[in-house]
Structure 1
Amino acid sequence: MTFTNEAPSISNVGLDKFSNQTSEKLNLDTICHMTKTPPPQPYGSAHDLPSVNKIQTELNTALLFSPLLSKDCRRELKRLRAKLREMTKLVDRFYELLGDRNWLFTDDFNLTAAKNIVDTNNPLVAEARLIDYYKSSDYIKFALLRLGRFHEMQPRLKMANLALDDYTSGRYYSTVLVLLTVMDGFVNDVDKKSRKGLHARSEDEMMVQDSVTNHHLGLHHAHKSFIKSFKKTDSREIFELHRHGILHGTLVNFNNEIVATKAWNRLFALADWAESLRKESVTVKKETNLRDLICSFKDTQNRIIEINQWNPHEYNVDTSLQGCSERELPEVIVACTQFLKHWSNFHWGPLGEYFMKQKGTSTTTGKLAYEAKNLYEVYKLENWEILKVRHTAAAIAEVDVKLIINGETHKTSLRWIRIGLNGDATVEWGPGKWKLSMFGPGHFINTETKIV
């Protein structure tokens, strides 16, 4: 689960800088005297994640300025606060039901599906729904495509896809054996500071900062059963991902959908773990001073005045912009047009340039091209039309489009975020570029968008 999906909306009310400087002021002594980063600890609740706390602080700070904001801005702030609470409660409810059974909440879960999974008081029912979710959709297929963003995973994707073939054919034993080797090699390569496979790591080594996998019933908790030793042969059926017993041949009855699905679940949780390691490696704590705080506060006040004058608006592309040259078109339409052109012409490098990446993420044109090809190659865009643009927030534009893909017509919406020169979301009139937020095709192409 990625708590930053809605984060750009916080910038819509212009309070990101203010909240940053507030946080820096409160922690100035700690930062100045810090000699090393403290080891990560498990979070008792998803609400304890630093990213969640940061967003909550921004929302609370924004609400202090309620008298200066329009009714629409106040309504948006309350909606975001309610959404944040809903997301954290969803994660905690998931672990309440399934944490003791060593299932992990991962960033790529569909939130609607996750709500359905936990809408019960019976852990067995929740587990069955989770397995159905893995088996009854293209979830695993798309999740594997996303794993291509890791250079360390790319040599292993062929084996992972073979494991998917085995999984869909009911050869669960093969799925488990293959994915265990994929996990070990991936973890060994992704953490270059400590070249150890997953099996050789302790529970504490699976904890990372600011990741939903670091819930107290998350990855480090599930890792206990993963590395547990089994010295004596046992022919009873097992339902846990006991790596030691399975690969050492002492647990011989693991050919079932529960263990196989847990293997997929663990692999995708490790991707979240690896992503958090990346963020830790590029995070730099910055000292501040009184002048910076004052300037930041003045900038925030000015932005609040500008945003208070902004209102949501929309326009139909076919009627509102007839006769306009490309130079006269709104930037978001130009960006969307170029994105769709590159897609239809298989220009993977330029296509990937429109993907919105987390601030601080290091990437290259080659990596973006590889990721774009993995995601979009199977979706042949034969024709397209931009229908309407809806500016729902100062940094967000929803572009309604009609797409003909592989002979099927879809009517859907592409969510674009205005990203400023510093990598943060910014207002639509500020300097920056429009980036596609949920850029995986599975987010906007599905059975619900198909026009019959």
Structure 2
Amino acid sequence: MDNDRIENNPSYKKFKKDLEGAEAIHNLAKFLSFFGLKNKELNEAFSTLPGMKKQLELLSKSPDKFNDHYAQRGWIAHESMNSDLMLTSIELADKGLIDVAEQELINYYSSDKIQWLIHQLKGVEAFSNRYNFFLLAYEDTLAERYHAVVPVLLMMIDGAVNDIDKGKGFFADKTNLTAWDSIAAHSSGLTALKEVFSDGRHKTTKEEITLPYRHGILHGRDLGYANKTVTAKCWAALFAIKDWAYAVKQGKKIPPLPEPELSFTESLSQLKNSLTDYAESKKRNDLVGKKVEAWKARQLNVGSDILEKGLSTDYKDFTPEQEAIRFAEYWTKGNFGAISKQVHQFSKTPVNEKIEAGKTRKIFEGKKLLDYKIVKVVDCSPAITEVTLATTIEHDNKQHNKEITLRFIYDGPKGEILIFGDTGGQWRFIENFFHQIQYIY
């Protein structure tokens, strides 16, 4: 693995091999068509081959290119990284504008755009145990309290890796941060990043640093650590480690047994199905694209366009404002299981509904919702809307007036993202406001 490239990961190699096989079969099919042997469905499926080849070329080579440019600067490619951000960073670096690109990375990983990545941390126990610290670090990041963010993230990274790797932290020499068929956990990824972050720091300096040197920061030697750049790199490293943790959770520390060789007929059938699926997926994406182009944000006045307060049945079906009122109704009734089902799950891993309901109960129990009303609705994108509720909450015989903003994402029945106006979906909120409820005193 040490001398390998990410583009040679098994998943990429298999896809490449399948495409090469498909091309060979396509050539055979074209040859046979001269003799009157034609298959319209198969030819339509084969028509997607050039697009698939181009997409594979882009996807498979991008992580290596990104790491080549940025690993020594403290950034690595990882599975949950925004692909547009990665591609833009590579393009700018290729044009000699790597400093401009790095500023884009810094801005991204120190903004509210990382909110959904933070939510994904709940999918691994080692991170969910520390989730409150991540929420506090996120608040401190947006408030530019970088002196508080960096030490917390470095400590939580070390502790979480300790839990996952059974007693060896992220910065320990013997910690194995590789995994089979992974981007973040490739030897050019986290292993290289650890070496950069573990640089020895042997004297006290006030000079501003641009890398999160663990030893210098946590031992009080690098006094110039409290800046946006170091903070962003800590967050990016955390999300890459999360992707490694998912790979470990899926049993990828040990490569699987080789798959059995398929017969020619089986290969043809598998390729045909794959190509047909790709063609259907492209049609769906094109349809969604047209809907996105036609979408316009609603300009809603609360009190005239929509009710400030009412029963959820008074609101239009399949709207985020209806779901916001449902949330308030569930809270009023103490139905914490129903609230937990309203939470958007970024991970596709099935959740334990009883455990999630218990977590929600722990946060909301003892906080009685006395009153609520909608004060603002903002359509942020075709699938995302923010609904702000003004609430009155009673806790320990004291009343607290709080505004809570629920950021909704429109989910389809199979977990796909729907567009506003589609029916049959479920508006689910990101529970980034739960800590505001939990820490009411």
Structure 1 gaps, min length 5: 1-40, 317-336, 374-379, 384-399, 417-433, 446-452
Name the aligned partner's letter for residue 168 of structure 1: L
Taking the aligned partners of 1:305 and 1:171, their CA distance within structure 2 comes to 50
Partner of 2:415: 436
Taking the aligned partners of 1:339 and 1:366, their CA distance within structure 2 comes to 27
Tell me: CA distance 1:48–1:206, structure 2 relative to 1, closer, same or farther (3 Å).
Answer: same
Are positions 1:84 and 2:56 aligned together? yes
Q: Scaled by the length of structure 2, what TM-score is found?
A: 0.61
1:336-367 Cα distance to aligned partner (Å, 9 max, x none): x999999675546666899883xxx6753446
Structure 1 counterpart of 2:352, from 364, 369, 394: 364
Larger Rg: 2
Structure 1 counterpart of 2:152, from 161, 168, 178: 178
Partner of 1:134: 109
1:302-358 Cα distance to aligned partner (Å, 9 max, x none): 959998998958899xxxxxxxxxxxxxxxxxxxx999999675546666899883x
Contact 2:209/2:225 (CA < 8 Å) preserved in 1? Answer: yes
Contact 1:356/1:437 (CA < 8 Å) preserved in 2? Answer: no
Partner of 1:47: 7
Are positions 1:163 and 2:137 aligned together? yes
Name the aligned partner's letter for residue 276 of structure 1: A
Taking the aligned partners of 1:371 and 1:338, their CA distance within structure 2 comes to 27
Tell me: CA distance 1:404–1:267, structure 2 relative to 1, closer, same or farther (3 Å).
Answer: closer
Secondary structure of the 2:209 match is coil
Name the aligned partner's letter for residue 267 of structure 1: L
Name the aligned partner's letter for residue 364 of structure 1: N
**Which deviates more, 341-350 or 141-150?**
341-350
Question: Over aligned residues, Cα RMSD in angstroms?
Answer: 4.6
Taking the aligned partners of 2:114 and 2:384, their CA distance within structure 1 comes to 24
Contact 2:45/2:279 (CA < 8 Å) preserved in 1? Answer: no
Tell me: CA distance 1:307–1:257, structure 2 relative to 1, closer, same or farther (3 Å).
Answer: closer
Contact 2:205/2:223 (CA < 8 Å) preserved in 1? Answer: yes
Taking the aligned partners of 2:77 and 2:158, their CA distance within structure 1 comes to 20
Tell me: CA distance 1:406–1:85, structure 2 relative to 1, closer, same or farther (3 Å).
Answer: same
Partner of 1:200: 172
Contact 1:348/1:370 (CA < 8 Å) preserved in 2? Answer: no
Higher relative contact order (CA 8 A, sep 6+): 1
**1:230-241 alignment runs, 5 A limit:** 230-241=201-212
Contact 2:384/2:410 (CA < 8 Å) preserved in 1? Answer: no
**1:337-416 alignment runs, 5 A limit:** 345=326, 347=338, 357=348, 364-366=352-354, 405-406=386-387
Taking the aligned partners of 2:231 and 2:353, their CA distance within structure 1 comes to 35
Secondary structure of the 1:436 match is coil
Taking the aligned partners of 1:372 and 1:284, their CA distance within structure 2 comes to 37
Partner of 2:196: 225
Tell me: CA distance 1:128–1:301, structure 2 relative to 1, closer, same or farther (3 Å).
Answer: closer
How many residue pairs match? The answer is 332
1:104-151 Cα distance to aligned partner (Å, 9 max, x none): 12222222233333332232222111112223x522211111111112
Secondary structure of the 2:81 match is coil
Are positions 1:280 and 2:251 aligned together? yes
Taking the aligned partners of 1:140 and 1:269, their CA distance within structure 2 comes to 13
Contact 1:414/1:436 (CA < 8 Å) preserved in 2? Answer: no
1:410-446 Cα distance to aligned partner (Å, 9 max, x none): xx99797xxxxxxxxxxxxxxxxx622469x9xx99x
Identity level (%) = 23
Contact 1:233/1:249 (CA < 8 Å) preserved in 2? Answer: yes
Secondary structure of the 1:406 match is strand
Secondary structure of the 1:252 match is strand
Partner of 2:235: 264
Tell me: CA distance 1:149–1:372, structure 2 relative to 1, closer, same or farther (3 Å).
Answer: farther
Partner of 1:56: 16
1:218-267 Cα distance to aligned partner (Å, 9 max, x none): 21111113233333323332221110121112222212211111111111
Contact 2:122/2:128 (CA < 8 Å) preserved in 1? Answer: yes
What is the deviation of 1:371? 11
Name the aligned partner's letter for residue 57 of structure 1: K
Tell me: CA distance 1:92–1:167, structure 2 relative to 1, closer, same or farther (3 Å).
Answer: same
Structure 1 counterpart of 2:83, from 94, 108, 111: 111
Contact 2:179/2:253 (CA < 8 Å) preserved in 1? Answer: no
Structure 2 gaps, min length 5: 30-38, 291-316, 328-337, 362-373, 390-407, 421-426, 429-441
Secondary structure of the 1:198 match is coil
Partner of 2:332: none
What is the deviation of 1:48? 1.2
**Which deviates more, 220-229 or 269-278?**
220-229
Tell me: CA distance 1:372–1:217, structure 2 relative to 1, closer, same or farther (3 Å).
Answer: farther
What is the deviation of 1:187? 0.8
